[in-house]
Every structure is written in structure tokens, then in C-alpha cells.
């Protein structure tokens, strides 16, 4: 099937185009990364504990994407300028490392989304057991695919026909996992919306949170879906998408962090509203009653996804 597409795009052209597009995506990601770091460092002290995890995750994702871009840059620069090769798309040890980083970055990005789902669902462990297992199976298939490519045909620009099902299974599982996690997060947020829609303007914050999740998740889903289709039909354009998708895997969770942090800071400093905190107190008779404190001066509906 590869021969059908060679008249429109060959693998060397796809590899170079993928590198060029990754350079643009990486530049965008770099700006977004420094914005996210600034936001996380300058947030209020009461949120520093939770921000430490976000800070570490943000730095890890950016480091992985930086190494991936550096490996692709080295491949193109050496293959065209320093030690010219007939085909820059030929799988070398460095490109195999870049392919591994593609799978690892996907795994880490999904792990961040799974953790967010865990927090949104009130730190309920059972809700993420299946997603965790799918995520582990996904990276296992991805790494196994790379090993099979290197053992069968190092010069293959795409996975040989015989092992396409292994890679397709891994990438399809990752796509399904992303859809499941996004649905769980958005579903939980909308559940809170229906529970609190009659309380002041809480619905505005929840709708905004849903928009953040949908927008960022959609970017992730589009990249994954397109790659799965191209991989399944063995189109050379998959070499264009893989480098860009790697950066998107880093951009998506970082974009969520930046949007949430900026939105939360803006509301707390610029839009004085009521703060709702629900809790229960015990009566002397042993029964409980719900009380609500409503201090004026900040907007803060205590929900997992906005912390």
C-alpha cells in the first residue's frame, strides 16, 4: 500500500516536513512552557503544595519533548549536511530513541490526564484502575513495535506489514484511553454543574472548566486519531505527524495547566463573588446538619479540577 502514496509524498520528504513542523510546534511549546512555569511559581502560597506536582509534570513533559526535537534535529542536520545519507528516513539508533520518546511522551501525557481524572472524581481509586491498565498496555505495545522494527528491517521507514497490528493495537488503545478519560472528566464536571446550577454563578466556572478540558482534549484526540488512520494505511505522512504529535502530547496538559491557572487567578483578583464551602457539623443529639459559609470577596467553588 505504501507504493500507492509515493507519487504524492515519499518518506524522506515526509521526514523533513515533519521535522520542520515539529520545530514550529516546539517553538510554540517553549513559549507556553515558560508561561506555565511563571504562572505556577507566582501563584498564591496556599496552592504551592499542589503546584509542586504540576510543576514537576510540566518540566518532565517539556524535557521529553525537547530531547525528541533534539534527536530529530540531529538526524536531519547530520543526514543532510554533515554526513549525507541516501535516506534521512532510514531508522537509526537515534531515530529509534525518538520513536521510544514518542511512546513515552504519550504514556506520560495520558498519566497526567488520568491523575486529573482521579482528582476530579474525589480521589476515587477504582475509577482509574482500567485506564491505568490500558495505559501500561499501550506503552508496552509501542516499545515492542520499535524492537520488532529494528530486528526485522532497520531500513524500513514505516513498520513492516507483518507487525502493523502490534503498533495499531497500541495506538488504538491510546486513542480509546484518551476518549475515556476526557469523557470521565467532562462528565464529572457536568455532574457538579447540575448539582449546583441553582447556586449563584457556579455554573459559569463549571462551563469554563468544561471548555478547557474539551479544547485541550480535542487537540490530543485529533492528533491521535489522524496518526492511527495514517499508521493503519501505512501512509508516508505518518512521518510528518509523529514529530508534531509528540509536541502536542506535551502541549495539551500544559495548556490545561495554563488556562486553569490564569482563569483562577483572574477570578480571585478581579471578580469579587461569593465563596461557597459546604461542610457538616454534628449536633449534640448526634445528628448532622449541613451548613454553608458564604464570605464575600473571592470566587472559589471547591472542586478538584480547578485546584
CA dihedral 103, 105, 110, 111 (to 10 degrees): 110
* Confidence grade of residue 154 (pLDDT, cut at 50, 70, 90): low
In terms of pLDDT, which residue wins out, 245 or 274? 245
Check: pTM over 0.95? Answer yes or no.
no
Q: How far, in Å, are 102, 103, 158, 184 from residue 140 at the CA level?
A: 13, 9, 19, 24
Look at residue 160 and tell me whether its pLDDT is greater than 80.
Answer: no
In terms of pLDDT, which residue wins out, 268 or 38? 38
DSSP assignment of 94-161: HHHHHHHHHHHHHHHHHHHHHHHHHHHTTS-GGGGHHHHHHHHHHHHHHHHHHHHHHHH-TT-SS--G
Residues 6+ apart with CB under 8 A from 6: 236
Look at residue 293 and tell me whether its pLDDT is greater than 50.
Answer: no
In terms of pLDDT, which residue wins out, 188 or 103? 103
* Confidence grade of residue 268 (pLDDT, cut at 50, 70, 90): very low
Q: What is the pLDDT of residue 149?
A: 75
Q: What is the pLDDT of residue 72?
A: 95
When the pLDDT of each residue in the chain is averaged and rounded to a whole number, the result is 77
Show the cell assigned to 133. 491498565
Q: Which domains does the chain have, with CATH numbers?
A: 2-273 (1.20.1070)
* Confidence grade of residue 263 (pLDDT, cut at 50, 70, 90): low
Q: How many CB atoms are closer than 10 A to CB 155?
A: 11
Burial annotation 237-276 (CB, 10 A radius, 16+ → b, else e): bbbbbbbbbbbbbbbbbbbbbbbbbebbeebbeeeebbbb
Q: What is the pLDDT of residues 91-141, one digit of tens each?
A: 788 888 998 999 999 999 999 889 888 888 888 999 999 999 999 999 999
* Confidence grade of residue 90 (pLDDT, cut at 50, 70, 90): confident
Show the cell assigned to 61. 513533559
Look at residue 179 and tell me whether its pLDDT is greater than 50.
Answer: yes
Look at residue 264 and tell me whether its pLDDT is greater than 90.
Answer: no
Measured distance CA(243)–CA(17) in Å, rounded: 10
Q: Which of 226-240, 241-255, 284-298 has the lowest mean pLDDT?
A: 284-298
Measured distance CA(64)–CA(49) in Å, rounded: 24
Q: What is the pLDDT of residues 7-58, one digit of tens each?
A: 578 888 999 999 999 999 999 999 999 988 988 887 655 455 667 778 888 9
Q: What is the pLDDT of residue 83?
A: 83
Amino acid at each position: 500500500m505504501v507504493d500507492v502514496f509515493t507519487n504524492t509524498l515519499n518518506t524522506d520528504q515526509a521526514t523533513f516536513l515533519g521535522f520542520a513542523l515539529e520545530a514550529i510546534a516546539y517553538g510554540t511549546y517553549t513559549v507556553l512552557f515558560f508561561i506555565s512555569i511563571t504562572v505556577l511559581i507566582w501563584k498564591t502560597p496556599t496552592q504551592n503544595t499542589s503546584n509542586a506536582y504540576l510543576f514537576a509534570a510540566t518540566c518532565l513533559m517539556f524535557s521529553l519533548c525537547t530531547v525528541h526535537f533534539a534527536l530529530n534535529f540531529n538526524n536531519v542536520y547530520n543526514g543532510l549536511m554533515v554526513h549525507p545519507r541516501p535516506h534521512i528516513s532510514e531508522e537509526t539508533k537515534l531515530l529509534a530513541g525518538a520513536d521510544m520518546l514518542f511512546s513515552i511522551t504519550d504514556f506520560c501525557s495520558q498519566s497526567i490526564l488520568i491523575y486529573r481524572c482521579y482528582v476530579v472524581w474525589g480521589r476515587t481509586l477504582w475509577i482509574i484502575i482500567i485506564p491505568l491498565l490500558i495505559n501500561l498496555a499501550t506503552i508496552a505495545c509501542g516499545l515492542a513495535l520499535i524492537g520488532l522494527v529494528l530486528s526485522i528491517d532497520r531500513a524500513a521507514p514505516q513498520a513492516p506489514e507483518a507487525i502493523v497490528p502490534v503498533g495499531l493495537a497500541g495506538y488504538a488503545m491510546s486513542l480509546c484511553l484518551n476518549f475515556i478519560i476526557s469523557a470521565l472528566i467532562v462528565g464529572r464536571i457536568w455532574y457538579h454543574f447540575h448539582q449546583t446550577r441553582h447556586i449563584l454563578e457556579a455554573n459559569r466556572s463549571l462551563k469554563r472548566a468544561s471548555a478547557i478540558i474539551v479544547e485541550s482534549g480535542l487537540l490530543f484526540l485529533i492528533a491521535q486519531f489522524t496518526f492511527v488512520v495514517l499508521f493503519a494505511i501505512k501512509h508516508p505522512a505518518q512521518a510528518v505527524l509523529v514529530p508534531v504529535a509528540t509536541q502536542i502530547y506535551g502541549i495539551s496538559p500544559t495548556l490545561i495547566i495554563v488556562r486553569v491557572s490564569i482563569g483562577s487567578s483572574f477570578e480571585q483578583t478581579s471578580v469579587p463573588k461569593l465563596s461557597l464551602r459546604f461542610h457538616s457539623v454534628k449536633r449534640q443529639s448526634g445528628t448532622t446538619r449541613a451548613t454553608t459559609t458564604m464570605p464575600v470577596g473571592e470566587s472559589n467553588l471547591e472542586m478538584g479540577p480547578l485546584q
